[in-house]
Amino acid sequence: METTINIGILGLGTVGTGVVHIIDQHQDKLSHQVGCNVKVKKVLVKQLDKERDISIGEERLTTCPDDVLNDPQIDVVLEVMGGIDDARNYMIQALENKKHVVTANKDLMAVYGSDLLQLAAHHQCDLFYEASVAGGVPILRSLADGLASDRITKMMGIVNGTTNYILTKMSQEGRDYEEVLCEAQELGYAESDPTADVEGIDAARKTAILGTLGFSMPVHLDDVTFSGISQVTTDDLDYCDQLGYTMKLIGLAERTDNKVEVSVQPTLFPHSHPLASVNDEFNAVYVYGEAVGETMFYGPGAGKLPTATAVVSDLVEVVKNIRLGVNGNKAVAPQFEKLLKSADEIYAKYFLRLQANDKPGTFSALTSLFAQYEVSLEKILQLPVQGSDAAEIILTTHKVSKMNYEQILHKLEGLEVVNLIKSSYRVEGDEEA
């Protein structure tokens, strides 16, 4: 029986250094949990002489991928280098060499996850990816193990810490988007190019992974409709607050019968909803199960040690499987065919903000249009626009199909009394009247 499990690591950036730190410093706990020693044998880096904030012997560093991927003594490969093409090729090579793989790579798993899982199963290897969604929040393991006997009907959550930090500061401090984005970049919460975060792409990747696992259905990134927060203004947030709502960028995966909706968009929640109180860089995922009801998973969504903890937790499971001789048995092919809801099958409430003529007949024209599509209004707020004969009208609807709502928006643009549609957001978490 193995007395030492050797680890190869691809990448020594923020997460990689955290992984090495945990493995090196927690040897007593790791060996107690898995019944053997766990050792980092080789780490792939771009530069050998780069200054790092971790003490690691030069003999463990290499710039040659084959030193990790083709070393017969290395049992498990941890991929924390990021990117897609190189990482995918390295993971394929590792699996074909019968090495188990743990990854934190959401981009890769959102695009090629199904293919890689099939390859891992073919070679009787483990492929775990807990750290790819919500950092240190154990949502994937909870779906795969803790809720394995339940039928998940809906998952929605804050899965991007950058956008949550920005929206928190805009809401609570009344600061503009650009100002808070710059602050987030200075603090390291946002990249120099924040597009993937603020436009919802990062959250869409994670939501695709949640949908695949939670619904046992091959959901891909292309199946996710998404929008970001770059157009959100402090006025939007003020009006949301006046109507009793807090805005979050939400990844949503919902199943009705055998059809699913998978989306990412700015979404409003009542102040009393648990997701409304998740602030700053924290993540949270709300899960609905037919048996368990409602549960929420909350914690740090990124960062060196939280993400590294998720990677090492996967590593522990791999090593336990090695000791038991049961590797490669956990990956289960999707059970259901992917069926996406059409626009007339997606129902939600909406927040709408528009500028209209402040004169008799305006409200009648608006309500007549909504009545034409059998949509009733739940809340209405009207405020005069200083120095003009226009008014800001803010309203929320009862549930309406996405198709009908889009048609209403289109007709509002051509309505004579409407000057401008300023913003529109989905509303979740309300009890339907």
Query: For 99, phi and psi rounded to 5 degrees?
Result: -100, 140
- Known catalytic residue: 206? yes
Take residue 306 and report the two structure tokens written for it.
């939280």
Candidate list 154, 169, 206, 341, residue with the active-site label: 206
| CA distances to 231, 249, 396 from 228, in Å | 8, 7, 20
Query: For 187, phi and psi rounded to 5 degrees?
Result: -85, -5
Which residues have a catalytic role annotated?
206
